[in-house]
A and B are shown apart, each in its own frame.
Chain A
């Protein structure tokens, strides 16, 4: 079913909207949630929460790209949940991704220069826009979607080692970019 038709179902408050959303985008949302939460049961709950959020948001919202919009909602909800659970115990999921991202964070600087969320995103947008598309896709698969190095390597027909090296180089480049801009996160 086309996105437009699914969104029309939401506007008509027809519960088939959720079923059609799950048929078309359920696997993608589960993958994003699973990459962050690592536990299937948690990921499933997160996907259900995503559908509830969508049900409560459309209408009045009418997202231009439903799949991408769902992915963002699932990612945000999964990360909120991971942070909540993380206070109780350490576990997998997004943890290795965060450990890698910690390498990009420049050392302490003027606290006044700490970035607000939107400002940080704009800085990241500028850095990503300058990257060759292959590098940008690789970086976002790992750090936006949380895909494992092994899965990325498998999809690209490359070795995990070469992917790890390329990601390490990109993290170094991001760190330099953040330092150059004079910011700390």
Chain B
């Protein structure tokens, strides 16, 4: 090691002995993000890709976002989408069809689905050959949504496999703590920027640059009339969580939407992880939430959780929160 590396190594060693109290909450989020939780198993894109990769094949999906949702539905529930569900996904999906080529790599914004407080965008990337047992990601990305209600938001860009022609597919998911549209009406402007495509072998920590460049898109998404909400009211549920243990969860003003649910809860309460919220459909299929986020308004947390896939509320017969089943409708 040279002198500078030696000094850095001493600094690293010095850090090794810092006060234990600093290390106890490394995975805590800041107060602003305190109730933002992503449930890894339910990160649908990763789950789908990994499940197929485990059998030695890359995840292959065809068509647009609607087809991707159909694949995901089959994977999660073991059955085909019902008519109402198919109609909802079709209604939420919008074709975009914008392409940009930089350094021989073409990124296409294929289609998008916009719901109450969440949206998803399907991207196709051509010009780089996808190899097995590798994860792909953009080194930098940003997503701005303007025109809708403001509030706390989160987004992610995930590699979900390839299409039948070998183009890489990425799913951009954006979720917020406030509705994007006013009663499902109106439109929002979406600006998406992606920078430098990288890959990483499974089990490795080293990234390889596959393509350098910046791809930028701006497009408009409109609200859907198919989108609806369902007020459930105040609820109490028994939770038995692997990480947080057993507790009683009390929420006020719980409202179901096609893309998730919203509720408020008091600061001294525990908040269940998003996978504790499950919509049970008339055919027995179950869809749980994959992430949640919340914001403190000085009195209560307002929390918003999002289904793994948009759900047809007409088909929801009950909501399961932890161990408690609440009949709907």
A→B interface (CB under 8 Å): 34-35, 38, 40, 65, 68, 71-72, 75-76, 79, 83, 86, 92-94, 97-99, 101-102, 104-105, 115, 117-118, 120-121, 123-125, 128-129, 133-134, 136-137, 140-141, 143-145, 148, 150, 154-157, 159-161, 184-185
Contacts and interface: CB of A to CB of B under 8 A. Distances in A.
Interface residues of B, number: 44
25 contacts: A68-B24, A71-B23, A75-B16, A79-B9, A83-B1, A83-B9, A102-B5, A104-B8, A105-B8, A105-B11, A117-B13, A117-B17, A124-B14, A129-B19, A129-B22, A134-B30, A137-B28, A140-B23, A144-B18, A145-B26, A155-B27, A157-B155, A157-B156, A159-B141, A161-B142
A154 B33 CA distance: 13
B78 interface: no
Interface of B: 1, 4-5, 7-20, 22-30, 33, 36, 38, 137, 139-142, 154-156, 195, 203-207, 293
A159 B24 contact: no
A76 B25 CA distance: 20
Contacts of A143: 12, 15
A121 B18 contact: yes
Majority-rule SS of A interface residues: helix
Given A72-B16, A75-B16, A185 B10 contact: yes
A160 B4 contact: no
Contacts of B205: 34-35, 38, 92-93, 148
Given A98-B12, A124-B11, 5 more contacts: A34-B205, A121-B16, A121-B18, A137-B25, A140-B23
B23 A144 contact: yes
Contacts of A128: 18-19, 22
B178 to A, nearest CB: 15
Nearest to A64: B20
Contact of B137 (A118, A125, A144, A150): A150
A183 to B, nearest CB: 11
Contacts of B139: 160-161
A40 B16 CA distance: 22
Nearest to A87: B1
Contacts, number: 126
B5 A98 contact: yes
B154 A157 contact: yes
A156 B33 contact: yes
B156 A154 contact: yes
- Chain B CB within 10 Å, residue with most, of A134, A150, A159, A185: A159
Contacts of B24: 65, 68
A161 B8 CA distance: 23
Contact of B29 (A79, A93, A101, A156): A156
- Chain A CB within 10 Å, residue with most, of B12, B16, B19: B12
A97 B12 contact: yes
A140 B14 contact: no
Contacts of B9: 79, 83, 98
B38 A68 contact: no
Contacts of B28: 133, 137
Contacts of B12: 79, 94, 97-98, 101, 143
A101 B11 contact: yes
A53 B205 CA distance: 27
B248 to A, nearest CB: 23
Contacts of B15: 121, 124, 140, 143-144
A137 B11 CA distance: 17
A82 B22 CA distance: 25
Q: Which 6 A-B pairs have the closest CB atoms?
A: A157-B154, A120-B14, A102-B8, A134-B30, A121-B17, A101-B8
Nearest to B1: A86
A72 B7 CA distance: 20
A72 B5 CA distance: 21
A86 B12 CA distance: 15
- Chain A CB within 10 Å, residue with most, of B15, B30, B139, B207: B15
Contact of B11 (A38, A75, A92, A120): A120
Contacts of A137: 25-26, 28
Given A117-B14, A125-B19, A99 B8 contact: yes
